[in-house]
Every structure is written in C-alpha cells, then in structure tokens.
Amino acid sequence: MTQPASAPAGTAAANPAASPDASPDAATLAAFQAAKGFMPVDEGVALYAAAVDAATALRLPLLEVGTYCGRSTILLAAAARAAGTVAVTVDHHRGSEEQQPGWEYHDPEVVDPEVGLMDTLPTFRRTLHAAGLEDHVIAVVGRSPRAAAVWGGPVGLVFIDGGHTDEHATADYEGWTPHLAPGGLLVIHDVFPDPADGGQAPYRVYRRALASGAFAELSVTGSLRVLRRTAA
C-alpha cells in the first residue's frame, strides 16, 4: 500500500546503472495514472527505472510487497514484460492499518459488502486487465512473512510498500531481502526522514539497510529510495 506523498519532492539522484531512457511508455503511464492508488508520477517513473535496471541485468522476478489496487504493479509488470521475466506481488488484500474504517486512507469503494471487510483484489484484477498486463504478474494472496518463508528462489528486486508499522515493515525487510540476488535492487516507499511528513517505520528499515553495509543507495525521488545489494 502507498500513502500520499506529504513531504516535498526529493532531489532525484542519478542511477548510474539505469538507462536514461528507462521511463514508461505512454500506455503504461496512462494505465498507472488511471489506477486507484497514491504513488505520485515522479516516484512511479523512478520505480519503473529501477525495475528496468533489475529486470534487464538479472532476468529474475521482481517482487512487490503491498499490491493494494495495482497502481505500482503496472510499472513492475511492464518492466518485467520487456525483459522476459515476471512481477510477483504479495498482499492479503484486506488493507493496511491506515486503510481501515475510520482512518484517513479508508476507501469504502473497496469494502466487500458481504463480509464487511476491505477486499482490494477485484479492483487489482480489473487494473491489470485494463492495462493488458495479466500475463506478466503472479499475484500471491496472503501475508507477506508467510509467503517469504516458502519462497524458494532469488529475486532481482524487492519493493517494500506494505504495512507501515514497525512490525510489518521489519517483517517485510527480514523476510524478503534474504531472497534478493547480489546486484539486485531494494526499493522502499514512504521513507520520510521528518516524522511530521509521515510514519517512521519505512525510514527505519531504510536506515537499517544502509547500516548493514550490504546496500548502497542509488537514488532518492520524493519518498522513494532505491538501493543496490552489494554484499550478502
């Protein structure tokens, strides 16, 4: 899940490994903008560039934690399609903490009237169908730590954009980064150094990744951080 970027747009640092032309085509960008979700266009373009970088270099699956309605999945799927690989997106589709009734980002349009709970899966499927990208995505419906525990192979990119509590963000980081191949990219969304701009759990995960010595930062765009795995 993504939140509206309340912080001022960050300065985008150049990614020396990514092609300067790694931007989504008009159809992909239009599908991204039409999809329900919160990621701003500049951060979406940066995510797409990272996905192209990872997919082209490694030809491994691109892994997303936090599908919501598929806005960012479109970008990963388009990059995967071009490189002949696949995007894998993991979500229980019941919404994260801040999307529940009574909270700021609750959307009653994605509540299942029969069970009274959020269910973003139907909207996600419509999003992929409209974008023509269904064949390039594997959707895993379930809790991220459980999916990570049974995942059996390397991935070329891990995009952390799920729950924004320390419990969930930490579990996503600890569950999926062991599967990230050397040279692969770790992308973290909603990184706000200033607590006034947003929750701190993604920021703490980002700082932990840098402090580990296993990652080098490649780019900053708004609240999106792109890091490359340099060590095990």
Asked if residues 26 and 57 have their Cβ atoms less than 8 Å apart, the reply is no
The pLDDT of residue 195: 94
- When pLDDT is cut at 50, 70 and 90, the band that residue 199 belongs to is confident
Which helix (H) or strand (E) covers residue 158, if one does? strand 155-160
The pLDDT of residue 106: 56
Report how far residue 111's alpha carbon sits from residue 156's, in angstroms, rounded to the nearest whole number: 33
Asked if residues 120 and 91 have their Cβ atoms less than 8 Å apart, the reply is yes
Does the structure show a pLDDT above 90 at 74?
Answer: yes
- When pLDDT is cut at 50, 70 and 90, the band that residue 212 belongs to is very high
The pLDDT of residue 134: 97
Q: Is residue 164 annotated as a catalytic residue, yes or no?
A: yes
Does the structure show a pLDDT above 90 at 223?
Answer: yes
Structure tokens at 115: 């069970």
Residue of 93, 136, 164, 168 marked catalytic: 164
Does the structure show a pLDDT above 70 at 113?
Answer: yes
Summarize the confidence of residues 37-60 as an average pLDDT. 97
Does the structure show a pLDDT above 80 at 162?
Answer: yes
Summarize the confidence of residues 112-139 as an average pLDDT. 90
Does the structure show a pLDDT above 90 at 100?
Answer: no
Report which of 69, 85, 20 is spatially closest to residue 49, judged by C-alpha positions. 20
Asked if residues 201 and 166 have their Cβ atoms less than 8 Å apart, the reply is yes
Question: Which range among 9-13, 56-60, 220-224 shows the weakest confidence by mean pLDDT?
Answer: 9-13
The pLDDT of residue 93: 84
- When pLDDT is cut at 50, 70 and 90, the band that residue 33 belongs to is very high
CA distances from 120 to 47, 78, 94, 126, 127 (A): 22, 21, 7, 10, 11
Rg, the chain, Cα only? 16
Does the structure show a pLDDT above 80 at 7?
Answer: no
The pLDDT of residue 105: 58
Asked if residues 169 and 201 have their Cβ atoms less than 8 Å apart, the reply is yes
The pLDDT of residue 84: 97
